[in-house]
Amino acid sequence: MVNLNVTPGKPYLRKEPGNADISGVIGLSGDIRGAVIMAYPLDTALKISSRFLGEEIKELNASVADCIGEIANIITGFAKKDLQSLHLSISLPSIVRGQGHVVDMPKEAPVMCIPIDSESGSFAMEVSMVDK
C-alpha cells in the first residue's frame, strides 16, 4: 500500500482541464453517470508508484499505469460504500497517458476538482456526476 499523507486543497469547479501526464479513470453508472479521475504529473506518479511497489521507478511504464489504475479503483471503491443510495456500479480503471493530456467530460456534467498535496508531490481528483 502507499501509506501516503495527503492534504486536500479547496475544491473548485473545473473550467479548463488540468495538465496531467497520467490519469486513472473510473466510470460511474447506476442512478447517476459520471467518472472519477485521479490525475498526476509524471514526477508524482513515479514517486507514488515507487512507494506502492516498494522499489524505485524511474520511467513511465506498465507498472506505473497499473498502480495509478489501482489507486483510482481503491479510492472510488471506498467512496462507493458511502453512496449506496445511488445504486452505483464502478468500471474497471482506464489509464490515459500523455504529457498534458485532457480527459473530457460531458458538457452537462460539472467537474469538481480537488487539488491534493502530498510528500510525493501534487495531484488532483476530479469527480463528475449527473442524473441518468
Predicted confidence (pLDDT) per residue in 4-23, tens digit: 899 999 999 988 777 799 99
pTM, two decimal places: 0.90
Contact in structure between 18 and 37 (CB atoms under 8 Å): no
Q: 6-131 sits in which CATH class? A: alpha beta
| Model pLDDT, residue 1 | 58
Domain boundaries, the chain: 6-131
- What mean pLDDT is reported for the chain? 89
Place of cell 506505473: 64
More confident call, 42 vs 29: 42
Q: 16, 51, 22: which is closest to 39 by C-alpha?
A: 22
* pLDDT at residue 114 greater than cutoff 70: yes
- The proportion of the chain whose per-residue pLDDT surpasses 90, expressed as a percent, equals 62
Grid cell 524511474 is found at 58
